Amino acid sequence: MAIINTKLKPFTTQAYHNGKFVTVSDADLKGKWSVFFFYPADFTFVCPT
């Protein structure tokens, strides 16, 4: 489901960038275009890949 032009809710999460883990928040993305992909239950017993 596409949710283009939807306001982003406040969040903080870990991301892997340039060989290390960094903290990313909604404040880091303010005023920038962003694309998010979510893979629920990926790499668990639900998904055998």
Residue numbers annotated as active site: 47
Q: Which residues contact 48 (CB under 8 A, 6 or more apart)?
A: none
Distance CA 25, CA 19 (A): 19
